[in-house]
Structure 1
């Protein structure tokens, strides 16, 4: 009877905690040993029965502990790892968190505005200890003190004031989201940093940026003009909010949004004999004077490959950095160029004609955005407005361009 009761006790404890089983076994061992020394087998009949009962109980505990070990050994590996992680992680505040909570930021702003934990607690519907605890957790996470204690008041230091000021627009946006009755603002504020290489910057973006600025008078716009390779680095490092380029981009720090896909065109002097052709092919340019983009341009390699595959030799008379300068050299009669028609195809002026070039050389003009953060509302609005400004045929030559030289 005693043996069955001990076995049931051990079996009921098995799923809960192996440590408890071990302690139970040690306790029974101690009691059994005490019984052996105090009475032993040579004692009275009653003493011998008590000693035997404890001995059987000890056996049951040993059996139960062995079952626990077997149960642990048969536990699937992923469950063991989970158990070990939970056991290794310190409980409560000692377990380090990453980041901080919205509630802690609310507490910070309320304390900056009120200067008292009790008043902040009433405003937020919290208890005073909860406010103090949230502030302590935020300071511990940041690794620095944000308030000076002066009696029952909390005096924010410079960093606390700076953080609170930066949180203002965030909580304002959250309020607008919560209050769906308030319409979304039709204009934007803050700052928008735009960057582009020279041709796109000078021949396409100014009118778009001007229109966007007029519609968003409270938005501070910074517009930089740099080379495409520098532009890619700048966007990846988050120095600009949005860029626009036709350079090929393969950078893990950048994501792209397509603006326009085009095919290469051949630009040549209006009075050149090849201007009478409807389409220009590589073999038409055998031994012709050719104006090329510099080799740092990704488009240069694509153009060179087309001529190499066709077995055509050109006479490269000059290499230049931009499509605009290449077009000007064509106008001066230095040679012929193959380039992206966007954005200059409709701005070539007199003395130059543009013809489709075959085989097709694809160009993609993309918005570039930092991959490490979501775009701002102003950035998305600018992208949308720029796309809306594109008209059909912006990447195609005019049908009447062959008369420009007359």
Structure 2
């Protein structure tokens, strides 16, 4: 292997600190040792990683690209450390949960709040991820459970539908359509509309649903994440068409949320490895998640 683990560690430290001296302090070694290893690394892999500008080490484009890959390795190593810690304690002392970005602002934080109250000593790792990355993260044990807006097919994963959500129209309270009980596709004509971009699966889902209703909408704004649509709507830039969880009024003061007259719904899916035993912590979190969905359906989730 040309690029050894120690070289990765030093390279990462320099990228984070910007100087050889900073990397030396971070790794508790001498500055000359860092400089020698960097020079050896560039020679052995045949790639120039840094431009020397005074005392600073300015990363090249190659270094920036390499850093992303090294960070993946570093994250995996942290996962191994956590696994070893669990083995040493002979019990699950943490739980890792991921979700679609749109569920990360309200539904999952509420579930984590409820779970934490019952398990205050258990450490929780929580992050958002794209559905396309879920299989690798679950099967590599980076995460224990995932919750997504869209379905996923993988023979090694169990996908369990735990509830449904709706696409809604979110707008400021002074918008001309804010007094309507519901919104139709025809109501949107002549108004600026904000949509998730078609490059993401959720954006394609919303467009397909609108087309099925006979709507031909050209958005005024496209965004890569659902919450950004709400952020623009809150600036009175248009109507955000997004999921009801990210558009929750308690997150966006002053905004109103209207359902579609012809409902557009989607499944909320719990996903976990099919052939791995779940810990008691994972089982407990799944139970809490089901309770959250029951509260949601009863309109009491955020009461």
Please say whether Structure 1 and Structure 2 have the same fold, judged by a TM-score greater than 0.5: yes
* Counterpart in the other structure of 2:159: 256
Given candidates 90, 97, 103, the residue that maps to 1:200 is 103
Question: What is the CA–CA distance in structure 1 between the aligned matches of 2:103 and 2:255, rounded to whole Å?
Answer: 20
Which structure 1 residue ranges, 5 or more long, are not aligned? 1-162, 170-187, 399-406
Secondary structure at the aligned position of 2:127 is classed as strand
TM-score w.r.t. length of structure 1: 0.47
TM-score w.r.t. length of structure 2: 0.61
* Counterpart in the other structure of 2:67: none
The superposition leaves residues 203-246 of structure 1 with CA deviations (integer Å, 9 ceiling, x where unpaired) of 33335324434533553432233333323431244321101221
* Counterpart in the other structure of 1:277: 180
Secondary structure at the aligned position of 1:345 is classed as coil
Question: What is the CA–CA distance in structure 1 between the aligned matches of 2:253 and 2:110, rounded to whole Å?
Answer: 22
Asked which structure has the greater RCO (Cα within 8 Å, sep 6+), the reply is: 2
In 1, are the aligned partners of 2:173 and 2:255 still within 8 Å (CA)?
A: yes
In 2, are the aligned partners of 1:266 and 1:354 still within 8 Å (CA)?
A: yes
Question: Residues 381 and 267 (structure 1 numbering): CA distance in 2 closer, same or farther, change over 3 Å?
Answer: same
The superposition leaves residues 10-38 of structure 1 with CA deviations (integer Å, 9 ceiling, x where unpaired) of xxxxxxxxxxxxxxxxxxxxxxxxxxxxx
The superposition leaves residues 366-406 of structure 1 with CA deviations (integer Å, 9 ceiling, x where unpaired) of 221012313222111111022224454458699xxxxxxxx
Pairs within 5 Å for 1:3-402: 169=90, 189-342=92-245, 344-390=247-293, 392-393=295-296
Question: Residues 218 and 246 (structure 1 numbering): CA distance in 2 closer, same or farther, change over 3 Å?
Answer: same
Question: Residues 357 and 240 (structure 1 numbering): CA distance in 2 closer, same or farther, change over 3 Å?
Answer: same
Question: What is the CA–CA distance in structure 2 between the aligned matches of 1:250 and 1:206, rounded to whole Å?
Answer: 26
Secondary structure at the aligned position of 1:353 is classed as strand
In 2, are the aligned partners of 1:256 and 1:369 still within 8 Å (CA)?
A: yes
Judging by fraction of residues, say which structure has more helix. 1
Deviation at 1:272, TM superposition (A): 1.8
Question: Residues 344 and 208 (structure 1 numbering): CA distance in 2 closer, same or farther, change over 3 Å?
Answer: same
* Larger radius of gyration between Structure 1 and Structure 2: 1
Aligned length: 217
Deviation at 1:320, TM superposition (A): 1.4
Question: What is the CA–CA distance in structure 1 between the aligned matches of 2:121 and 2:258, rounded to whole Å?
Answer: 44
